[in-house]
Every structure is written in structure tokens, then in C-alpha cells.
């Protein structure tokens, strides 16, 4: 490429979007702008990015399509790391991106490997957007990442890793032997910066991966590195299934209640990961995903082991805490 | 392979299934059986196949899943050319095939290239089955074929090709310049016999193709070969869209009326082929399809020109006429 690609990122102040922004800036090969909704333009987190020299495009995803199309003028690559509650707002963005001639759209995927429909409500909504993309023939890449190291380690009895733990817990789900694709949150952006410059990934599904570990293996690593014996609790497959059923029925009674919706997401993540055992490389391959480790053998992602050493060293950071 | 693969075909007495049966028998490398529903077992068309030495497995797709699983015992490859009205009956078959250890399932695709959802009701229902396949991780191949030569030629003024024409007509749809993937009905089985033995097509979408022609090109070939000047009628994109709208609204008022459903299928085929211009190789590639012409360069399919010469020679056969 002779000219730098102009990348517009939606969701830059979120966890996934933040990782992507860092990855794009570090790659030093893109002109990076961020898409900010009017309601967020005055947020401190946005101002911090402006102070770092990132350019803003402020517009509303609910604006008429022609306005969104104009606002996307000059953008080569559009990356959406929109929040899970707003996924369907991407529909207008897809149509506008097609109109505006965007050369590649990265819809908000960035989750675990799961079937297109029927296993996770969160995935079902993403599929609706993928189908809209295909309907309008917009060039795209879907990037999934498995689960993050940052939310995949158990608590230890001393409590010394709880400062970095999203929900301190030491539960083995099902038999604990389901292999899970894990990516360090910080590596998402490093992978994305490579994937979006790569012709091999155009109109493809790709997954990133730092490690593939079962819960039993994770608990083993954590015990080995911490020197502490974890007091495991156990949740059976039946209990996990029951939690899904309860959460789905709760949501049906309160379809607009975001906390009920989040409860479904969490219950279905556990069901998909530990009962269906979806989040594994061979299922990803079956579903047609390319493996980013094979595409970029020179990109060495952070292993779970190295990540957890950082946590023990006091360098962890609890996600979703700003 | 050291042993012959055992193939079970559903829909062998239909047009697509009949082509597949001939292709499988001609390949002489499979043990071929046909799946017949109890209601069809006494049909003459089935008896004719039995007389040719084809083995039957008679069972009901609405039977309990365990019964279907048993009935699939020993089957390596299951091919479904079920009729369009019964597509969703394949759901039980998918689950049973997974249970029975079927090594490859060919769901009923065999239509034009179109987006996964939202353009054709017929395609939407097929997508539900593909999603069920992916949910249970059943090995599969989706095979689409474009439109058949046999239903893609116009009438000529002398009426001499009408004997073979499904619906004598000489309409140019839209601008007449939409490229369309065409396959001779008889070639479907030849392609299928190759595709199902090929590791490269496992868990992939593939399309067959004998020709890619626009309506204007088809009319040109027909005029050249027949020496007759066709009196074209024209249907605009707006008229095609209106027909879809009317057919969809008619069906909504009579959702169980099969003729209303067929009217939607036909209207949406025209819309997808001629307004959206979906049924073309570059859209197929975008959607992730493999091209059977590239996979099997030694398989020379019947061109539209050669097919139409047969029709002029009195050797055509009107589809769906038994």
C-alpha cells in the first residue's frame, strides 16, 4: 500500500475498543480516528484520547442513513467495538458503510467461538448484523477472540489476586475439561492491526488466541504459580443449564431490563464454554474460522501463565473499572 | 478409500434428487440407497427405482429421533433433496444424522446464490437447517447450483420449443444484464458425485456451474440457434419488486396456502436474480463458496448452447412432468 489506510473505530473507550485503539496506534501504519456519539463527546475518557492526538468523528448512529454515509466519507476501514446492548444499531452503519465505499468493515464480534444461532443470545444478535453485511455485500472481517485471560483466573485463598479479578470466584464448571480459547485483552488490538491489513482475511472469520486451556489446567497453573491450594466449588452441567433456563425466563418477563439481559449473556457464556464446549480451535475450524496464530506466527501473544505472573506481581488491572 | 461409501438419498423421485441418483449410480463408487417415506413407498416412481436395483430405507421423518437414528445406521453420506415445502423436516434428520455418526450431510440447498437471509424465503428456511447443522457440529457440504438450463430459455415465435418449456415466456427482467449461474439439471448429479468424495469440500459451500449468462445473452443464443426473432416483453425492476410485495402480503393472509408460498418463491427468485443480481460467481465467492469448475476442471458440464441445441432437436424434456 502506498497510502496509509484511514481507520475509524467505534467504541474506543470500552475494553475491547481500547485494546484495538492501542494496537492501531502502536502499529503506526494507519490514520486512526474514533467515532463518538454526541452523548459521549464530552466524556473525560474521550477528552483523554483527544489529548493524545486522536481525531474524533462525532455522529449519531440513529441519524438518517445519508448523514451517516456522509460522516463515513474517506474511511477505508471501519471497526465496530460497540457495546453488547447496542449491537443492532450497527445495521444502519452497515448500509451507510456500503454506500460510503468502506473497503472493510469489522463488525462487533470479539467474543467466544459459538454457533451462528441458538446457543447465545449475544451471538444471535451479532449474526443478524453479519447477515445484513452479506445482504449488502460489504467487505468484512469477523474477528472473535475467545475469552480474556483477564476474566479467566480463579481467586486464591489469600485473596491477593482479587484486586484484578472481575468476580472473585473459584468454580469449576461441568467436568472442567472443556478446552477454551483465551486471548490477553491487550493482544486483541495487536491482532486486529495485523488482520485488517491482510488480504487473506477479507470476507473471512478469524479468531485470535493466546492459549487454549481447560479450567482444570488454569487452576493448576494458578496453584503452581501462587503456591496456594484453591478451594474449588463445582457447578454441574445441569446447574448451568438450569441457570440459563432461569435467566432466559426472567428476561422474557422483563425484556427491556438490561441486568436481566446481562444475566442471560453470562449464563449462556458458561453453557456454551463448559457444557456445549464451543470455544475450542477444532470447532472454530469447523465453523470456517482462520486461526490468527497460523496467519501471524511472528506475533507472540501473551500466554495465560505470563499474564498471571503479572497479576501476582501486582500489575493486573480489573476490567470494566475505567 | 478402501471400502465403498454408503450413500442414502432423500428425494430421489424429484428433479434434483433424480439427477443426483443418476450421478451417484453412474459414478459406480458408492453403495446407494434411497430414503422413502411410508406414504411414497408404493409410488410407481419408487417401484421403478427398485426394479433398477436401488435399495430402499423406508421411514418417517416425523418419527421419534431415536427411530430415525436407527434407520440411518451404517450410512456414511446422507443427501437430502427434500421438496421445498418440507425443508424444516430436515431438522430431526440433522440431529439423528449426528447421533448416527453420519460422516457428511448434504442438506437440501441446490438453488441459486443468495444471501443467507432476507432475500428469499426459500433460502431463509434452508439457512435454519444450516444453522442447526452447525449447532450440532455435523460434517456437511452445502451445494448450490444456480438456475437450471431447463428453465432458463425463452419461447420462440414458432412455438417449437414450448414442448420442453416449463412456462413458455419471453420476458426480459430488469435490464437483462444480470449474470446468472446456470447448471444443466443432468449435471447436478455428476457434480454431486465428485463433491461428496472430496475432502476439500467438507464443511464448505460449493456451487456448480455450466454457464454464466445474462438474459440478453441467452436470448441472443436462442435467436442465433433457432433463426427466429424473439418478441421480448419487459418487466421492470419496480414491477418485480411489486410482485414480491404482493406475493408476500398474499401469503401473510394465507400462510398455509402452498400456491401462495410458491408464488413468493417465484417472485423472490426473479428479484434475487434480476434486481439484486445475486446469482453470480463473484457474489458466490464473497459468500465463501468454492467453485466446482475450479475443483473439477476435467468435468465438462453441458453448456447452455449445447443444451438448447438438444431442445431444438426435439430431445428436451419439460421438468416437473414426471
Q: What is the DSSP string of A104-153?
A: EEE-S--S----SSSS-HHHHHHHHHHHHHHHHT--BEEEE--EEGGGS-
Q: Given A118, A131, A288, which is nearest B117 (Cβ)?
A: A131
Subunit contact B203:A288, Cβ cutoff 8 A: yes
A117 touches chain B (CB under 8 A): yes
> What's phi and psi for B78, nearest 5 deg?
-115, 125
**Contact assessment for residue A280 and residue A114, using Cβ atoms and an 8 Å cutoff:** no
**Helix and strand element counts for chain A (H, E):** 12, 13
DSSP state of A6: E
Instruction: For residue B291, give the 3-state DSSP assignment.
Output: strand
Instruction: For residue A99, give the 3-state DSSP assignment.
Output: helix
**All domains of chain A in start order, with CATH:** 5-146+182-210+278-301 (3.40.50.720), 151-177+215-275 (no CATH)
Please tell me which residue in B126, B229, B243, B260 is annotated as part of the active site: B126
B260 is catalytic: no
What CA–CA distance (Å, rounded) separates A163 from B255?
58
Subunit contact B134:A119, Cβ cutoff 8 A: no
Residue B322 has pLDDT above 60, yes or no: no
A119 touches chain B (CB under 8 A): yes
B119 touches chain A (CB under 8 A): yes
Strand B180-183 to B211-213 pairing: antiparallel
**Could you tell me which of A82, A147, A149 has the C-alpha nearest to residue A318?**
A149
Q: Given A118, A131, A287, which is nearest B118 (Cβ)?
A: A131
Angstroms from A12 CA to nearest CA on chain B: 29
Among positive and negative, which fits the CA dihedral B144, B125, B94, B22? negative
B215 touches chain A (CB under 8 A): no
Residues of A with Cβ-Cβ distance to B288 under 8 angstroms: 203-204, 288
Subunit contact B119:A135, Cβ cutoff 8 A: yes
pLDDT at position A168 is 78
Strand B141-144 to A233-235 pairing: unpaired
Question: For B9-46, what is each residue's pLDDT tens digit?
Answer: 999 999 999 999 999 999 999 999 999 999 889 999 99
Question: For A13-45, what is each residue's pLDDT tens digit?
Answer: 999 999 999 999 999 999 999 999 998 899 999
Q: What percent of chain A has pLDDT over 70?
A: 99
pLDDT at position B168 is 78
Q: List the grid coordinates of B320.
A: 416437473
What CA–CA distance (Å, rounded) separates B212 from A216?
55
What is the average per-residue pLDDT within A141-159? 97
Which residues 243-302 of chain B have a CB within 8 Å of chain A? Answer: 283, 286-288
Angstroms from A205 CA to nearest CA on chain B: 10
Q: Which residue has the cell 485483552?
A: A185
Angstroms from B81 CA to nearest CA on chain A: 23
Subunit contact A283:B119, Cβ cutoff 8 A: no
> Per mean pLDDT, which range of A40-54, A248-262, B116-130, B283-297 is the poorest?
A40-54
Report residue B320's pLDDT band, with 50, 70 and 90 as the boundaries.
Answer: confident
pLDDT at position A272 is 98
pLDDT at position A33 is 97
Q: List the grid coordinates of B314.
A: 426435439
Residues of B with Cβ-Cβ distance to A132 under 8 angstroms: 118
Report residue B319's pLDDT band, with 50, 70 and 90 as the boundaries.
Answer: confident
Angstroms from A86 CA to nearest CA on chain B: 21
**Could you tell me which of A218, A221, A121, A232 has the C-alpha nearest to residue A179?**
A218
Residue A322 has pLDDT above 60, yes or no: no
> Per mean pLDDT, which range of A145-149, A282-286, B35-39, B203-207 is the poorest?
B35-39
B134 touches chain A (CB under 8 A): yes
B118 touches chain A (CB under 8 A): yes
**Helix and strand element counts for chain B (H, E):** 12, 13
Residues of A with Cβ-Cβ distance to B119 under 8 angstroms: 135
Q: List the grid coordinates of A101.
A: 465505499
pLDDT at position A2 is 60
pLDDT at position B321 is 66
pLDDT at position B146 is 98
Question: For A169-213, what is each residue's pLDDT tens digit?
Answer: 999 999 999 999 999 999 999 999 999 999 999 999 999 999 999
**Could you tell me which of A96, A77, A80, A66 has the C-alpha nearest to residue A37?**
A80
Please tell me which residue in A47, A98, A126, A243 is annotated as part of the active site: A126
Question: Could you give the ipTM of this predicted complex?
Answer: 0.95
**Could you tell me which of A265, A268, A284 has the C-alpha nearest to residue A276?**
A268
**How many other β-carbons are positioned within 10 Å of the β-carbon of residue A105?**
23
Residues of B with Cβ-Cβ distance to A131 under 8 angstroms: 115-118
**Contact assessment for residue B161 and residue B226, using Cβ atoms and an 8 Å cutoff:** yes
Question: For B47-81, what is each residue's pLDDT tens digit?
Answer: 999 999 899 999 999 999 999 999 999 999 999 99
Specify the long-range contacts of residues B275-279, CB closer than 8 Å, at least 24 apart: B275/B173, B275/B174, B275/B237, B275/B240, B275/B241, B276/B114, B276/B119, B277/B178, B277/B179, B278/B112, B278/B113, B278/B114, B278/B115, B278/B119, B279/B112, B279/B113, B279/B114, B279/B146, B279/B147, B279/B178, B279/B179, B279/B180, B279/B181
Give DSSP secondary structure letters for B141-191.
EEEE--EEGGGS----TT-TTGGG-SS---EEETTS---EEEE-HHHHHHH
Q: Is this model's pTM higher than 0.90 or not?
A: yes
Report residue A321's pLDDT band, with 50, 70 and 90 as the boundaries.
Answer: low
**Could you tell me which of B17, B13, B2 has the C-alpha nearest to residue B189?**
B17
Question: CB contacts < 8 Å between A and B, how many?
Answer: 39
Mean pLDDT, rounded, of chain B = 96
What is the average per-residue pLDDT within B156-176? 93
Question: For B219-253, what is each residue's pLDDT tens digit?
Answer: 999 999 999 999 999 999 999 999 999 999 999 99
Question: For A57-92, what is each residue's pLDDT tens digit?
Answer: 999 999 999 999 999 999 999 999 999 999 999 999
Which residues, other chains included, contact B47 with Cβ-Cβ below 8 Å and sequence gap of 6+? none
Q: Which residues on neighbouring strands pair with residue B78, listed in sequence order? A: B8, B105
Which residues, other chains included, contact B24 with Cβ-Cβ below 8 Å and sequence gap of 6+? B7, B9, B30, B32, B189, B192, B193
Residue B3 has pLDDT above 90, yes or no: no
**Contact assessment for residue A301 and residue A187, using Cβ atoms and an 8 Å cutoff:** yes
What CA–CA distance (Å, rounded) separates B82 from B9?
9
B118 conformational bin, left if phi > 0, alpha if psi -120 to 50, beta if neither: left
pLDDT at position B134 is 98
Amino acid at each position: 500500500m502506498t497510502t496509509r489506510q484511514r481507520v475509524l473505530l467505534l467504541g474506543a473507550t470500552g475494553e475491547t475498543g481500547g485494546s484495538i485503539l492501542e494496537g492501531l496506534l502502536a502499529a503506526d501504519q494507519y490514520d486512526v480516528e474514533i467515532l463518538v456519539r454526541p452523548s459521549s463527546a464530552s466524556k473525560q475518557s474521550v477528552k483523554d484520547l483527544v489529548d493524545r492526538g486522536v481525531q474524533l468523528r462525532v455522529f449519531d448512529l440513529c441519524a438518517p442513513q445519508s448523514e451517516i454515509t456522509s460522516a463515513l466519507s474517506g474511511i477505508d476501514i471501519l471497526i465496530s467495538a460497540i457495546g453488547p446492548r447496542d449491537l443492532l444499531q450497527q445495521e444502519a452503519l452497515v448500509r451507510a458503510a456500503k454506500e460510503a465505499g468502506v473497503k472493510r468493515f469489522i463488525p462487533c464480534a470479539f467474543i467466544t467461538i459459538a454457533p451462528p444461532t441458538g446457543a447465545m443470545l449475544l451471538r444471535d444478535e451479532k449474526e443478524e448484523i453479519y447477515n445484513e453485511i452479506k445482504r449488502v455485500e460489504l467487505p468484512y472481517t469477523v474477528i472473535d477472540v475467545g475469552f480474556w485471560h483477564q476474566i479467566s483466573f480463579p481467586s486464591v485463598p489469600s485473596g491477593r489476586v482479587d484486586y484484578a479479578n472481575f468476580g472473585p470466584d473459584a468454580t469449576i464448571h461441568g467436568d472442567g475439561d472443556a478446552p477454551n480459547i483465551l486471548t490477553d485483552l491487550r493482544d486483541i488490538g495487536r491482532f486486529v492491526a495485523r488482520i485488517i491489513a491482510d488480504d487473506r482475511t477479507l470476507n473471512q472469520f478469524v479468531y485470535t488466541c493466546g492459549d487454549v486451556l481447560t479450567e482444570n489446567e488454569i487452576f493448576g497453573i494458578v496453584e503452581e504459580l501462587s503456591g496456594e491450594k484453591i478451594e474449588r466449588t463445582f457447578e454441574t452441567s445441569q446447574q448451568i443449564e438450569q441457570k440459563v433456563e432461569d435467566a432466559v425466563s426472567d428476561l422474557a418477563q422483563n425484556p427491556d431490563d438490561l441486568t436481566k439481559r446481562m444475566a442471560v449473556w453470562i449464563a449462556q457464556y458458561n453453557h456454551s464454554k463448559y457444557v456445549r464446549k464451543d470455544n475450542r480451535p477444532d470447532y472454530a475450524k469447523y465453523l470456517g474460522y482462520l486461526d490468527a496464530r497460523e496467519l501471524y506466527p511472528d506475533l507472540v501473544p501473551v500466554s495465560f501463565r505470563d499474564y498471571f505472573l503479572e497479576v501476582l506481581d501486582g500489575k493486573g488491572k480489573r476490567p470494566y473499572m475505567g
